[in-house]
Amino acid sequence: MSKAVQTAAPGSRPKGVEGEQQVGRWVRRMFDGVAPRYDLLNHVLSGNMDRLWRARTVRMLADRIAAPGAVVVDLCCGSGDLMLALAKRRGATVFGSDFCHPMLIEAARKARARRASTPLVEADALNLPLASSSASVLTVAFGFRNLANYDKGLREMYRVLKPGGTVAILEFSTPPNRAFRACYDFYSLRVLPRIGAMLSGKDAADAYRYLPESVRRFPDANSLALLMRETGFQSVRFRRMTFGVVALHLGVK
Ligand SMILES: C[S@@+](CC[C@H](N)C(=O)[O-])C[C@H]1O[C@@H](n2cnc3c(N)ncnc32)[C@H](O)[C@@H]1O
C-alpha cells in the first residue's frame, strides 16, 4: 500500500449508529427529511458546482452511453439530477434507483416535467433487484459514501455490470493541497452545517453535520481506487475536480 493511501473505512458510520442495518435505516431517514429541499441545498452549498461535476461525469461517459443498446443505471439517484443529465444523451436507456421514497417522488416529478422516460427502482444499493451482468454503465453520484459497507456496494455493482461495462463513482474526496484543504475544512465543518440548518430547518440539521463528517471519514481517491481494484475492476482511474473536493472514479468489469 502506498503512503498516500489511507486505511479504508468499512462504510458510512454516522455518530452513535452501529451496525449495517441501523446505518442504512439512519441514512434513509436522514434523506427522507432532506428530500424536499435537497436540490436547493445542493446548489447553494456547492455554489452550483454540483451541476458542473455531474455534467463532466456525463461527458466522460458519453461514448459508453451512446453505444447501441446501452443500459445505464444511476444508483442512489436521489432527486434525479445525474439520471436526467444522462438521459439527455440520445440513445441511452437510463434507469434510476434509490432506497429513499421521497427522493424518488422528486425524481419522478422532475422526469415528468422534462418528458424524460427514466424508470425508477426503489432499492438498497447493497442488494439490488437487478439481474447479474445486466447493465452497461453504472453511475453513483454522492451516494456511495453513504453506503453502510463499501466493499459490499462495490461487489454488488460488479455483479450487476456486464463484462466490459463501466462503473463511475462521483464522490466527495480529500483535496491533496494542505492549504486548500484547511480552507475547505473550515467551510465544510463551520459554515456548511449552519447554512444547511438555516435553509432546511432544525429537523435536517443532523444531515448537514453528518455530511462533512462522512466526507472526512471517506477513503481518499487512491484508497477508493484500491478498493475498486480489489473488487476486480480493471483500468481503474480517477479524475479530481475543483482542487480535489470531488473525484470521479472509473473502472471496467
Ligand atoms: C447525497 S444524495 C445524492 C443524490 C444524487 N445522486 C445526486 O447526485 O444529487 C445520496 C442519495 O443516496 C441514497 N442512498 C444512500 N444510501 C443508499 C443505499 N444503501 N441504497 C440506495 N440509495 C441510497 C440516498 O437515499 C440519497 O438519495
- Residues sharing a CB contact under 8 Å with residue 75, sequence separation 6 or more, in sequence order: 97, 98, 125, 128, 138, 139, 140, 143, 157
Which residue lies with its CA nearest to atom 13 of ligand 1?
76
* φ, ψ dihedrals at 124, nearest 5°: -80, 130
- Name all residues whose Cβ lies below 6 A of ligand 1: 24, 27-28, 31, 42, 76-78, 81-82, 98-100, 103, 124-126, 141-143, 146-147
Q: Determine the distance separating the centroid of ligand 1 and the alpha carbon of 146, expressed in angstroms.
A: 7
Taking CB atoms within 8 Å and a gap of at least 24, the contacts of 209-214 are: 210/14, 210/15, 210/30, 212/185, 212/188, 213/14, 213/15, 214/12, 214/14, 214/145, 214/146
Q: Mean pLDDT, consecutive 10-residue segments, the chain of 253 residues?
A: 53 91 95 87 84 96 93 97 93 93 97 96 98 98 97 98 98 93 86 77 73 90 97 98 96 98
Which atom, in ligand 1's list, is nearest to the CA of 39? Answer: 9
| Nearest residue by C-alpha to atom 14 in ligand 1 | 76
Nearest to 84, CA basis, from 109, 60, 66 = 109
Residue 99 contacts residue 125 (beta carbons within 8 Å): yes
Strand order of the sheet with strand 246-252? 120-122, 93-98, 71-75, 135-141, 161-172, 246-252, 234-241
Q: How far apart are CA 118 and CA 44, in angstroms?
A: 26
Phi, psi of 176 (to 5 degrees): -70, -25
Which atom from ligand 1 is nearest to the alpha carbon of 148?
Answer: 19
pLDDT at residue number 202: 64
**Atom 27 in ligand 1: residue holding the nearest Cα:** 78
The CA distances from residue 192 to 12, 34, 67, 119, 145, in Å, are 19, 15, 40, 33, 18
Cα(76) to centroid(ligand 1), Å:
4
Facing residues of 94 across strands? 72
Separation CA 31–CA 33 (nearest Å): 5
Nearest atom within ligand 1 for CA of residue 100: 25
d(CA 127, CA 162) in angstroms, rounded, equals 17
* Residue among 22, 79, 99 whose CB has most ligand 1 atoms within 8 A, to mutate: 99
| Distance from Cα 237 to the centre of ligand 1, integer Å | 23
- Under 8 Å between Cβ of 117 and 87: yes
Residue 235 CA, ligand 1 centroid: distance in Å: 25
Bridge partners, residue 73, by sequence: 95, 138
Probe residue for ligand 1, chosen from 20, 31, 206 as the CB with the greatest number of ligand atoms within 8 Å: 31
